[in-house]
């Protein structure tokens, strides 16, 4: 089968308005964690008129929907059907909303990270791609994920086989994240490290309590824990390359009950971000060693546990270039920016990108009702989003899938020595 015209998908005003209404309903009724029954029901309702193969999570309320394209060339044997994975996360945060929007949540949770828009935009992409399914030269896996904020949802979906949902492994995976403090409709990404790896260091220092007037008869865990906190920062600046940076923040420190008592124990927790697997591997070994060695030098003991919670969100260079070129082509060069630096936040889509080449990026959604100097960041109780970006978000995700599948078929045709059966005009 040959198509002369490149396949185009674009959200119209009616679809954009439908997605805005869907998003606002979801925003008013947020759910937290891995179990989002009302959100899952809303997604299933929105998809119910589409011909999709749907698999629901068993350990979570995830939704995996597979759209079968009707234009996979005959030479592409079953099992080798190309598939692209598109992901949207669905969970909210335990924040009391103070955004002031008239569809604000009142249940003590809040979509302060824009995951309501991620879900709505993915529903829109499913509708757009469904409308051209007969001409689609491959399959699309829609990954509706719970539990991103607790770094558990992507792993649960991997464990339940999201990468086998269409048969073969997807050839590429894409996702977007809203930015509440960037101009609406501005697309940003970069090749290579895009968001930080995240690890947590839990430390407990055991001493021997005593009277505050006679520290020489005790083993003071607070003094030693404080020295360890300072030494961790020193160690990072001396032992790690500044061009492969590490950010360490001690966000919790506990010990003691009164000014004249030396306690038995002090504890603290640090969040640690970095931008390469090599550095994260070193941190996991060297920081516990430093902690335990300093405690030992003072004749105390310490337990230090490093939990590697998330890997680096690593954009494949070619896929990031394709992501960027698609945004610039669809919406104009002025609406795309290559980020100079990675973002120091973390994202569990990183686990998908460890398995499948792909790219992740942000879409600005700063509110038109708020002065840009007052735009609240993600995770703020005041965060607001311009949901008019939903149409472009859906168009963008759907176009990534169309162009990537077309390009894959073209290269399959070339490597098979035949002419490409499907025009990939427009594929980057
Ligand atoms: Zn988020």
Structure confidence by residue, pLDDT tens digits, 31-40: 999 999 999 9
Does position 1 have pLDDT exceeding 50, yes or no? Answer: no
Instruction: Compute the distance from residue 169 Cα to the ligand 1 centre, in Å.
Output: 25
Instruction: Compute the distance from residue 254 Cα to the ligand 1 centre, in Å.
Output: 29
Residue 400 CA to residue 138 CA, distance in Å, equals 13
Instruction: Compute the distance from residue 115 Cα to the ligand 1 centre, in Å.
Output: 6
Q: In Å, what is the CA distance from 20 to each residue of 36, 129, 196?
A: 20, 19, 31
In contact, 272 and 200? CB cutoff 8 Å: yes
Q: What is the pLDDT of residues 8-32, one digit of tens each?
A: 999 999 999 999 999 999 999 999 9
Q: Name the token pair of 8.
A: 């185009």
Instruction: Compute the distance from residue 316 Cα to the ligand 1 centre, in Å.
Output: 20
Instruction: Compute the distance from residue 53 Cα to the ligand 1 centre, in Å.
Output: 27
Instruction: Compute the distance from residue 113 Cα to the ligand 1 centre, in Å.
Output: 5
**Sequence-separated (6 or more) residues with CB below 8 Å from residue 88:** 115, 118, 119, 121, 122, 123, 142, 143, 144, 145, 175
Instruction: Compute the distance from residue 114 Cα to the ligand 1 centre, in Å.
Output: 6
Instruction: Compute the distance from residue 223 Cα to the ligand 1 centre, in Å.
Output: 38
Instruction: Compute the distance from residue 148 Cα to the ligand 1 centre, in Å.
Output: 7
In contact, 254 and 229? CB cutoff 8 Å: no
In contact, 350 and 386? CB cutoff 8 Å: no
Does position 427 have pLDDT exceeding 50, yes or no? Answer: no
Q: In Å, what is the CA distance from 239 to each residue of 90, 231, 235, 394?
A: 39, 12, 6, 45
Name the residue with tokens 């791609």.
129
Residue 69's region, left for phi above 0, alpha for psi from -120 to 50, else beta, is beta
Instruction: Compute the distance from residue 373 Cα to the ligand 1 centre, in Å.
Output: 22
Mean pLDDT value across the chain? 94
DSSP symbol at 107? S
Instruction: Compute the distance from residue 48 Cα to the ligand 1 centre, in Å.
Output: 26
Instruction: Compute the distance from residue 10 Cα to the ligand 1 centre, in Å.
Output: 25
Residue 326 CA to residue 236 CA, distance in Å, equals 39
- What was the pLDDT predicted at 417? 35
Instruction: Compute the distance from residue 101 Cα to the ligand 1 centre, in Å.
Output: 20
DSSP string, 215-265: GGGSB-HHHHHHHHHHHHHHHHHHHS-TTS-EEEEEEEEEE-SSTTEE-SE
Secondary structure of residue 165 in the 3-state scheme:
coil
What percentage of the chain has pLDDT greater than the value 90? 90
Instruction: Compute the distance from residue 33 Cα to the ligand 1 centre, in Å.
Output: 12
Sign of CA dihedral 410, 412, 415, 420: negative
Q: What is the pLDDT of residues 61-107, one digit of tens each?
A: 999 999 999 998 776 665 578 999 999 999 999 999 999 999 999 99
Instruction: Compute the distance from residue 40 Cα to the ligand 1 centre, in Å.
Output: 18
Q: What is the pLDDT of residues 370-401, one digit of tens each?
A: 999 999 999 999 999 999 999 999 999 999 99
Does position 332 have pLDDT exceeding 60, yes or no? Answer: yes
Q: What is the pLDDT of residues 336-356, one digit of tens each?
A: 999 999 999 999 999 999 999
Residue 122 CA to residue 128 CA, distance in Å, equals 10
What is the set of domains in the chain, with CATH numbers?
13-193+312-411 (3.40.630.10), 197-310 (3.30.70.360)
Residue 68 CA to residue 74 CA, distance in Å, equals 14
Instruction: Compute the distance from residue 116 Cα to the ligand 1 centre, in Å.
Output: 10
Does position 362 have pLDDT exceeding 80, yes or no? Answer: yes
Instruction: Compute the distance from residue 120 Cα to the ligand 1 centre, in Å.
Output: 14
DSSP string, 110-163: B--SSHHHHHHHHHHHHHHHHHTGGG-SSEEEEEEE--TTTT-HHHHHHHTTGG
Q: What is the pTM of this model?
A: 0.91
What are residue 315's DSSP bridge partners?
192
Instruction: Compute the distance from residue 31 Cα to the ligand 1 centre, in Å.
Output: 14
Q: Name the token pair of 350.
A: 């990183």
Q: What is the pLDDT of residues 397-425, one digit of tens each?
A: 999 999 999 998 877 654 433 333 333 33
Instruction: Compute the distance from residue 44 Cα to the ligand 1 centre, in Å.
Output: 22
Q: What is the pLDDT of residues 116-156, one digit of tens each?
A: 999 999 999 999 999 999 999 999 999 999 999 999 999 99
Number of C-beta neighbours around residue 236 at 10 A: 21
Name the residue with tokens 């902690």.
291
Mean predicted confidence (pLDDT) in 174-181: 97
Q: In Å, what is the CA distance from 138 to each residue of 122, 166, 168, 251, 358?
A: 18, 10, 11, 47, 17
Secondary structure of residue 194 in the 3-state scheme:
strand
Instruction: Compute the distance from residue 365 Cα to the ligand 1 centre, in Å.
Output: 13
Q: What is the pLDDT of residues 185-242, one digit of tens each?
A: 999 999 999 999 999 999 999 999 999 999 999 999 999 999 999 999 999 999 999 9
Instruction: Compute the distance from residue 166 Cα to the ligand 1 centre, in Å.
Output: 26
Instruction: Compute the distance from residue 340 Cα to the ligand 1 centre, in Å.
Output: 21
Residue 387's region, left for phi above 0, alpha for psi from -120 to 50, else beta, is alpha
Q: Name the token pair of 9.
A: 């998908």
């Amino acid at each position: 089968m040959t198509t002369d015209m490149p396949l185009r998908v674009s959200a119209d005003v009616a679809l954009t308005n439908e997605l805005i209404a869907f998003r606002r309903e979801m925003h008013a009724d947020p759910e937290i964690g891995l179990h989002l029954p009302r959100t899952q029901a809303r997604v299933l309702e929105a998809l119910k008129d589409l011909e999709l193969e749907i698999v629901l999570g068993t350990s979570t309320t995830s939704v995996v929907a597979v759209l079968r394209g009707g234009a996979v060339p005959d030479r592409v044997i079953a099992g080798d059907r190309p598939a692209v994975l598109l992901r949207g996360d669905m969970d909210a945060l335990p924040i009391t909303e103070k955004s002031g929007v008239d569809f604000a949540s009142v249940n003590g949770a809040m979509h302060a990270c824009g995951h309501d828009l991620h879900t709505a935009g993915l529903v829109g992409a499913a509708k757009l791609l469904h409308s051209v399914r007969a001409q689609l030269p491959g399959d699309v896996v829609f990954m509706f994920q719970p539990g991103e904020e607790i770094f558990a949802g992507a792993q649960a979906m991997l464990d339940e086989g999201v990468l086998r949902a269409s048969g073969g492994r997807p050839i590429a995976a894409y996702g977007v994240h809203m930015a509440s403090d960037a101009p609406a409709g501005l697309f940003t990404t970069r090749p290579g490290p895009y968001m930080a790896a995240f690890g947590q260091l839990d430390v407990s220092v055991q001493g021997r309590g005593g009277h505050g007037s006679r520290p020489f008869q005790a083993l003071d865990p607070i003094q030693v824990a404080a020295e360890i906190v300072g030494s961790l920062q020193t160690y990072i600046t001396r032992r790690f390359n500044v061009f492969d940076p590490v950010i360490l923040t001690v966000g919790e420190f506990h010990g003691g009950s009164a000014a004249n008592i030396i306690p038995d124990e002090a504890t603290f927790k640090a969040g640690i971000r970095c931008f390469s697997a090599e550095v994260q591997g070193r941190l996991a070994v060297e920081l516990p060693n430093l902690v335990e060695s300093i405690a030992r030098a003072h004749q105390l003991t310490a337990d230090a546990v490093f939990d590697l919670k998330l890997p680096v969100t690593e954009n494949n260079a070619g896929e990031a270039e394709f992501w960027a070129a698609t945004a610039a082509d669809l919406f104009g060069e002025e609406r795309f920016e290559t980020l100079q630096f990675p973002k120091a936040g973390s994202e569990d889509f990183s686990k998908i990108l460890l398995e499948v080449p792909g790219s992740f990026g942000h879409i600005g959604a700063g509110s038109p009702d708020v002065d840009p100097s007052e735009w609240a960041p993600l995770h703020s109780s005041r965060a607001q989003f311009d949901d008019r970006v939903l149409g472009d978000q859906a168009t963008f995700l759907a176009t990534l899938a169309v162009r990537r599948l077309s390009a894959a078929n073209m290269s399959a045709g070339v490597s098979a020595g035949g002419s490409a059966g499907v025009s990939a005009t427009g594929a980057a």
